Structure 1
Amino acid sequence: MKDADCATDNLTRLGDLTCIYAAIGCVLAHHLVSRGYRVGLCCRNVERGNNLASLLKLDGESVVFVKYDVSSESQAALFKTVWEIRGRIDVFIANARTVDGFSPYSLLQRTQPLGKLPPVPDLRCTETNYKGPIYGTVLATHFVRHNPTPGGKIIITSSTMAVQPCAAFPEYSATKATQVAWVRATAPVLFEKEHITINVVMPNAYDTGIVPGFADMFLPEHMVTKSCLLAAYDEFLNDEENQRTGRLVETTHDNLIYHERPSVLSEEMGERNCAVFEPLFKAIHGETSGIDGATKGLPNRETTLGVRQ
């Protein structure tokens, strides 16, 4: 997919200029440019974003930087800019993330009187980590419909905390879990209707520069290598036929592990509860889903229950 165009989120919280080059979004930007992609790069910090874009402009036009907040409507500016320059968007990598901005445990509130209520939680983590990919998916879907050949790829950077939540970062863990649910829920319809694949990369510990001294907290063999991290994204970027969708891949130290969808423990009951009911889908979304396994009509109660009620 040489000469393709890609919109990729940078991190919303960066350290100093050294840290920006270690962050996942920046590592990805370097990698995509090396693969021949034209990259749209975005960040809240204009100076850092422009500096990185300048470093990556190997041919004078490989990278464009747009300042934006992924949790707001300004995210559309990146897509518009890339489209105006290239007239196509092939890949969107939703990589923006931030960590908890409050403590749900209120441990320091123990001595407060009943009438002194805790402050309203700072939910910027939820805004960025969950709302950002949702709006990004909607925007990516809109733009890739107009590609010369409709269709494209969406890759969301999640975390292994999506499936193994961490008590130190409960909000972050929850937002990462919602990303997984979002991908698994939307993948069948996006593929059926738009030939868009949507997948998740779940890194283990990787030093992004967000947390000072982060690497000191882990043994070297418990940290994800750069080559393993990039290999996870390449699993989907290299899918030339664009058939692999709704998948979760975890990065270990130097290996990739795919996570399958959990089995339905309640069997037939649970399977029916999660199946698409086409009349309801059409009422919500405007047309039927057309996906495999969708229920097209009301159940036959005589067959199911033995007695029509």
Structure 2
Amino acid sequence: MGPERVAIVTGASSGMGEALTEALVEKGWKVAMADIRPNAELTSKLGESASFHTCDVSDYDSQARCFQEVWDKYGRLDALCANAGIVDKSSIYILDHRDSDKIPPKPNLLCTDVDYKGVVYGTQLAIHFMRKNKVPGGSIVATASIAAIHPHETYPEYDGAKAAVAFHIAYHMTPVDTIVSAYNRCLEDDSLSGEAIECSVDKLLLVPRPEYQNGRVSQRAVTVWDPLFKMYHHELSQLPDAIA
């Protein structure tokens, strides 16, 4: 039996990252949980199969320290699951400034820093450390969003950031088990390198071109819900298909 494979999972302390961490451990992986905040309960539950590493993916130096810690602990790196992500932290529509002569405030681009830059940083670091493996190589899988292909008007910055990293397509209305299955498939099947997978309810669908892979179910995932739109942008969207 070969040595246990080692994966770094970003955003591992909650949501999809937590589920992915547990699923990989069940499959025999050692998992380095990279997140800003620890999940002591999960780390304790997984015991020696997982370790926690404080990591702000938007900061290259923070990620570099995390990767080095993982290498020093395990001596190998077989997979990066670049899962950490957030949505827009400000509104580039600046509707509040429509009738103002003042220059609008600088936008908060933390979403881009986490969702796009964080993946670029992690990819570079993963390549570096995977080259050091006794047998060089490994897998890099990123969590994107269906909004990468079908933009969600509520989150314009998020749309662009996720479009830049659309290797694995997932969206928040999909069951976590489906997303974990997509990760497992990407990690086990080298032929999927560079491919996009749309996770829609219980289906894993390869995305050949930008069209809705599961009809209204996929479409609903990027349909604007006007109360949320108003919370972010302070006015209703006035889109004809918005959900009231």
Q: Which blocks of at least 5 consecutive residues in structure 1 are unaligned?
A: 12-19, 181-199, 207-222, 263-309
- Counterpart of 2:170 (choices 177, 182, 203) is 203
Query: Could you tell me which residue of structure 2 aligns to residue 54 of structure 1?
Result: 44
Q: Which blocks of at least 5 consecutive residues in structure 2 are unaligned?
A: 211-244
Is structure 2 residue 24 aligned with structure 1 residue 32?
A: yes
Instruction: After TM superposition, give the deviation of residue 94 of structure 1 in Å.
Output: 0.4
Tell me if structure 1 keeps the 8 A contact 2:89–2:111: yes
Return the TM-score normalized by structure 1. Answer: 0.64
Instruction: After TM superposition, give the deviation of residue 2 of structure 1 in Å.
Output: 6.8
Tell me if structure 2 keeps the 8 A contact 1:202–1:248: yes
Instruction: After TM superposition, give the deviation of residue 148 of structure 1 in Å.
Output: 1.2
Return the TM-score normalized by structure 2. Answer: 0.80
Letter paired with 2:39: G
- Counterpart of 2:148 (choices 159, 162, 175) is 162
1:131-186 CA distances to partner (integer Å, 9 max, x unpaired)? 10001010000001111111100000000000000110000001001113xxxxxx
Query: Could you tell me which residue of structure 1 aligns to residue 208 of structure 2?
Result: 260
SS of the equivalent of 1:24 reads helix
Query: Could you tell me which residue of structure 2 aligns to residue 82 of structure 1?
Result: 70
Q: What is the distance in 2 between the residues matched to 1:202 and 1:243? A: 17
Instruction: After TM superposition, give the deviation of residue 83 of structure 1 in Å.
Output: 1.0
SS of the equivalent of 2:32 reads strand
Instruction: After TM superposition, give the deviation of residue 229 of structure 1 in Å.
Output: 1.7
Q: What is the distance in 2 between the residues matched to 1:27 and 1:62? A: 14
Letter paired with 2:170: P
SS of the equivalent of 2:9 reads strand
Instruction: After TM superposition, give the deviation of residue 53 of structure 1 in Å.
Output: 1.5
Instruction: After TM superposition, give the deviation of residue 227 of structure 1 in Å.
Output: 2.7
SS of the equivalent of 1:201 reads coil
Is structure 2 residue 129 aligned with structure 1 residue 139?
A: no
Pair member with larger Rg: 1
Q: What is the distance in 2 between the residues matched to 1:130 and 1:37? A: 26
Query: Could you tell me which residue of structure 1 aligns to residue 5 of structure 2?
Result: 4
Instruction: After TM superposition, give the deviation of residue 261 of structure 1 in Å.
Output: 5.6
Is structure 2 residue 105 aligned with structure 1 residue 130?
A: no
Query: Could you tell me which residue of structure 2 aligns to residue 268 of structure 1?
Result: none
Q: What is the distance in 2 between the residues matched to 1:135 and 1:94? A: 10
Tell me if structure 2 keeps the 8 A contact 1:7–1:92: yes
SS of the equivalent of 1:260 reads coil
Higher relative contact order (CA 8 A, sep 6+): 2
Aligned residue pairs total 208
Q: What is the distance in 1 between the residues matched to 2:163 and 2:114? A: 14
Letter paired with 2:92: P
Tell me if structure 1 keeps the 8 A contact 2:57–2:118: yes
SS of the equivalent of 2:205 reads strand
Taking every aligned residue pair, what percent have the same amino acid on both sides? 37
In the TM superposition, structure 1's runs of 4+ consecutive aligned residues that sit over 3 Å from their partners are 48-51
Is structure 2 residue 60 aligned with structure 1 residue 70?
A: no
Q: What is the distance in 2 between the residues matched to 1:98 and 1:225? A: 18
Letter paired with 1:64: S
